[in-house]
Structure 1
Amino acid sequence: MDYSEILPEVIKVADEASNKVLQIYQTDFQVNYKEDESPITAADVASHEIIVKGLRRISPQIPILSEEGLLAPWEERRQWQRFWLLDPIDGTKDFTQRTGEFTVNIALIENGEPVLGVVTAPALNEAFWGIKGIGAWKRDGRGQAQPIEVAVPPATRRVVASKNHLNAETRAFIDSLGAHETLQAGSSLKFCRIAEGAADIYPRMGPTSEWDTGAAHAVLLAAGGNVHTLEGKPLRYGKENVLNPHFIAAGNWYF
């Protein structure tokens, strides 16, 4: 598959979903809750439907795994060597709290590795995308796309952490880094801030699912960074249990 050939179409799909999400964001939307008590809105559902329709048009043969879709049985998923992984809105809490730091995420996973990713932040008017072995880009509010890459970290590490999920274990890891500055960001933007050189490391010692990380992980890989488990192994996708282990995202200086 030529990733560069399909990337513009995937960006268009992400933009279409983002526009719909932003329309709903600007209304007095209702918040409902799923069985696990996580929030869901009409924007999550609408984004899911737009992305699934768009990806099936682009690549009807590639299966899709979405947070808002049905989880296919493991006996079926274990056969997937390549699949789309999407989170129609990552950071629904940021969406409902109206912080603006929520994202729309589309990743292509191949043999357990994210090889293409598109992340949009509709309320911030930003977008990020990357392709394994080719590079990563950021599109700003003026619609201009520029290449991005991870920074060579200064002596004082810039640690990006979750606004909603900063627990004691993560705080202890951050303190172990020595001199540091803590930056806060929501959703998958934490990966993207490292990818664009605005932060250096993101430790996550708390629960996440594959769809929370896949797209931004692809962007970070393409920008020269990486994501490893606490055991030092690359974070992988396509597992029976879609929950991620704890991980650290950073430039390759850390690994």
Structure 2
Amino acid sequence: MTEWKVLAQGALDAVKAARAEILTIMKRVYEVQYKNDRSPVTEADMASQAVLIEKLHQVDPSIPVVSEELKTIDYDTRLTWPRLWMVDPLDGTKEFVRGNGEFTINVALIENHQAVIGVIDWPVGDITYMAIKNEGAYRLEKTGSIRLHSHSFSNPANVVISRSHRQSEIDWVRRSQIAIRSIDYVGSALKFCRIAEGRDDVYPRLTPNMEWDSAAGHILVAEAGGQVVDFLGHPLQYNKPDLHNEGFVAVGDWAAWREYFVRQGTFSK
């Protein structure tokens, strides 16, 4: 078994343990607090993070963890790390609080500014998505694993967008001259999963976001045959100085979409 596969198995075990913590807390009354940016954080976020850090350190204590609810490490230090885990212990906290089930646990291994392992767990759906660089993307269920393949170029397209940024993203799709067959409104990293599964074709994110929001989903989409790019058309990079993405587009068939955008002259933020 390759080292990446060993680490991926460790990440799988970690998210399963974190899932159990989240689902336990979900069944009872819990406190919701708000960070400086007014985004919610709950004890489920913190409990999941604690479990993930513990389990990932057990897999390989030499690999540091960068997580949404941890204090950010300065870039001069992070630059010396050959690799790191990038973690969102509860992606979609708003959806968790609303009780609609559209939240995930995201874990990615970053090497040389690229995601090389990605695990996205959907606790309510009892489904885990996993990808390893050059090994493919998979949906893992109780009945077995299914290899994922993103959808080839289609215009009209099935578009998936965030529940929180609807109008700006719909406006971008129209400005980009993408004909819309359907629009799905979905929370958390489940949008990446839908692209990787071939259920949707295009997922635009215009607002700034953090690297842990996209890292696991990026490698999942890429290994399924798609790509996640910035508005210059470059694949997203990770462990950057400020850990921010200024926006991105995830598509199931980047080569074909890139050709289309160039021909139309419409690919911009």
Q: CA deviation at 1:232?
A: 0.9
Equivalent residue, structure 2, for 1:151 = 151
Q: Any conservation in 1 of the 2:121–2:127 contact (CA below 8 Å)?
A: yes
Say yes or no: does 1:162 pair with 2:162: yes
Q: Distance in 1 between matches of 2:53 and 2:143?
A: 25
Q: Any conservation in 2 of the 1:81–1:112 contact (CA below 8 Å)?
A: no
Where structure 2 has 5 or more consecutive residues not aligned to the other structure, the ranges are 259-269
Q: Distance in 1 between matches of 2:58 and 2:160?
A: 36
Equivalent residue, structure 1, for 2:204 = 203
Equivalent residue, structure 2, for 1:171 = 170
Over the aligned positions, Cα root-mean-square deviation in angstroms equals 1.3
Question: Secondary structure at the residue paired with 2:36?
Answer: coil
**Which amino acid is 1:120 matched to?**
D
**Which amino acid is 2:150 matched to?**
V
**Which amino acid is 2:65 matched to?**
I
Q: CA deviation at 1:81?
A: 2.6
Equivalent residue, structure 2, for 1:130 = 131
Q: Any conservation in 2 of the 1:103–1:188 contact (CA below 8 Å)?
A: yes
Q: Distance in 1 between matches of 2:85 and 2:137?
A: 19
Equivalent residue, structure 2, for 1:58 = 59
Equivalent residue, structure 1, for 2:39 = 38
**Which amino acid is 1:6 matched to?**
L
Q: Distance in 1 between matches of 2:143 and 2:61?
A: 29
Q: Distance in 1 between matches of 2:210 and 2:7?
A: 25
Say yes or no: does 1:230 pair with 2:234: no
What's the % identity of the aligned pairs?
Answer: 35
Say yes or no: does 1:254 pair with 2:257: yes
Where structure 1 has 5 or more consecutive residues not aligned to the other structure, the ranges are none
Q: CA deviation at 1:143?
A: 4.5
Q: CA deviation at 1:219?
A: 1.0
Q: Distance in 2 between matches of 1:178 and 1:10?
A: 38
Equivalent residue, structure 1, for 2:92 = 91
Question: Secondary structure at the residue paired with 1:254?
Answer: helix
Give the TM-score normalised by the residue count of structure 1: 0.95
Segments ≥4 residues shifted beyond 3 Å:
none
Q: Distance in 2 between matches of 1:237 and 1:166?
A: 26
Q: Distance in 2 between matches of 1:26 and 1:13?
A: 21
Q: CA deviation at 1:93?
A: 0.3
**Which amino acid is 2:145 matched to?**
A
Q: Distance in 2 between matches of 1:143 and 1:62?
A: 32
Q: CA deviation at 1:241?
A: 1.1
Provide closer, same or farther for how the CA distance between residues 153 and 26 of structure 1 changes in structure 2, counting only shifts above 3 A.
farther
Q: Any conservation in 1 of the 2:109–2:118 contact (CA below 8 Å)?
A: yes
Q: Distance in 1 between matches of 2:126 and 2:137?
A: 17
Q: Any conservation in 1 of the 2:149–2:225 contact (CA below 8 Å)?
A: yes
Question: Secondary structure at the residue paired with 2:209?
Answer: coil
Q: CA deviation at 1:34?
A: 1.6
Equivalent residue, structure 2, for 1:72 = 73
Equivalent residue, structure 1, for 2:182 = 181
